[in-house]
Each structure stands twice: as structure tokens, then as C-alpha cells.
């Protein structure tokens, strides 16, 4: 991604941002959020229900 307007690092104007985390506006942003949420819930011992992947049960 290009460097944010107004916050270019001096001397590195031609550098770009290699993204590790999601940002608003990405097409895949909602999906990446869901993956994260799913992972964290799994860590906490919650199980997805088969009928609704958005309901987690412990």
C-alpha cells in the first residue's frame, strides 16, 4: 500500500507499506476479521455450531 497521505517517512518517500494487518476498505476485511474471531474463540474453548457458524458454544 502507498504511504498514507501526510505521513510519508522522510527519506523513504518511495517506500511502500507491506501490510500485516487488515484495514477498513479491504474487500477481504470482513473475512479476515471472522477468521481471527473464529481462531480466538477456538483458543478459548468455544466450538462453532454446525447450524450457524456465528454461534459459539462452550
Partner 1 sequence: MVHSDVCSPLKENSFSGAAYFVTFIDDHSRKLWAYSLKTKNEVLEKFKQFQVMVERQTRKKLKCIRSDNGGEYHGPFDEYCEQQGIKHEKTPPKIPQLNGLAKRMNTTIIERVRCMLNEAKLPKRFWGEALITVVHVINLSPAVALDDNVPDNVWFGKNISYDHLRVFGCKAFVHVPNDERFKLDMKTKQCIFIGYGQDKHGYKLYDPVNKKLMRSRDVIFLEFYQTIEDIEKMEKDESKQSGDLVNRDPVQLDNEHAEDHPDAPIDDVGNDSHEILVDSSIPLKRSTRERQPSTRYPSDEYVTLTDEGKPGCFEKAMDSQQKEKLVNVMQDEMQSLHDNQTFDLVKLPKGKRALQNMWIYRLKHEGNSSSLRYKARLVVKGFRQKKGIDYDEIFSPVVKMSSIRTILSLTASLDLEIENMDVKTAFLYGDLE
Give, as ranges, the residues between 18 and 47 that touch partner 1 (CB under 8 A). Answer: 18-37
Examine residue 9 and tell whether it contacts partner 1 (CB under 8 A).
yes
Examine residue 57 and tell whether it contacts partner 1 (CB under 8 A).
no
Spatial neighbors of 19 by CB under 8 A, at least 6 apart, are 1
Among 44, 45, 55, 58, binds partner 1 (CB under 8 A): 55
Handedness of CA 25, 30, 31, 34 (dihedral sign): positive
Min dist. Cβ of residue 43 to partner 1 (A):
14
How far is the C-alpha of 33 from the C-alpha of 21, rounded, in Å? 10
Query: With CB under 8 A, what is the number of residues at the site for partner 1?
Result: 38
Amino acid at each position: 500500500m502507498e504511504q498514507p497521505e501526510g505521513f510519508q517517512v522522510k527519506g523513504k518517500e518511495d517506500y511502500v507499506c507491506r501490510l500485516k494487518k487488515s484495514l477498513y476498505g479491504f474487500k477481504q476485511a470482513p473475512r479476515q476479521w471472522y477468521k481471527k474471531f473464529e481462531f480466538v474463540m477456538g483458543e478459548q474453548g468455544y466450538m462453532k455450531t454446525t447450524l450457524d457458524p456465528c454461534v459459539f458454544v462452550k
